Chain A
Amino acid sequence: MVHALDEIRRTLKPNGVLIDIRPVEENWPVEVNASTGYQVAGRLTDLPVAVADDEAAFRAMREAESRRWYIKEKEEEFAFFYYWDTPSEMKEFMDEEWEDFEKLEESVFSAVKSAWTMANADARVRVRVKMLITRWRKL
């Protein structure tokens, strides 16, 4: 990762900008969302490999900063939502795409199904992914 940051720096013009945009693990909430509002039904469980990836990314940026390759100018968090029409569709996606990173505990899945069943007809389920965006300036 550190080598990649050096490669990017090489290809950037003087005073160029590096935007780092990525999800950050934080046991993302699973919500039931309808036109009347939303409720948190539970949270996903971060798996060790995802947490380790996060730590490695932060470590790499700290290393690049300490080597005076970049200086941090601005940083913010925002939410990135994944929506599914039904809890089953959500589970299917997670089993296929997120199996190495996130775990949907059976108790959380049951709570989501209950909340979704009780909610308005237009209710969908969603995961609120915590995102981090940072602007770095090449030094």
Chain B
Amino acid sequence: MQKDPEGFERKSLHKFADFANQRVLEVGCGEGRLTWKYAADSSLTVGFDPDHDSLRVARADAPYDMQKNVHFAEASARQIPFVNETFDIAILAWSL
């Protein structure tokens, strides 16, 4: 099975936001499928998800060059473990 080989999702995402040097919060990152489509441009990306197993996959799949600026956390959107006004961009990744 192949998902979005045309890359329409990536194109749409970059059309809607400029991630360069931005601090990004991704809500419902799952296995990080969407994360890898923008995180290289960001100064910091934090993806969180309540699913522990998905996060294990996301961490294992992290490209070497993104390991310093991409972090994953197990959390729910009902209580985001960050202080006020931390991020420039938040992404609801198939999660609303």
Contacts and interface: CB of A to CB of B under 8 A. Distances in A.
B94 interface: yes
Interface residue tally on A, bucketed by range? 35 or more
A13 B90 CA distance: 10
B80 A133 contact: no
A48 B91 CA distance: 26
Contacts, number: 115
A93 B94 contact: no
Contact of A21 (B5, B13, B77): B13
Interface of B: 1-6, 8-9, 11-13, 15-17, 25, 27, 34, 77-80, 82-96
12 contacts: A8-B90, A12-B88, A18-B90, A19-B90, A19-B92, A20-B96, A21-B9, A81-B4, A81-B8, A82-B2, A133-B16, A135-B16
- 5 closest pairs, A vs B, by CB? A4-B77, A83-B2, A57-B96, A20-B92, A13-B85
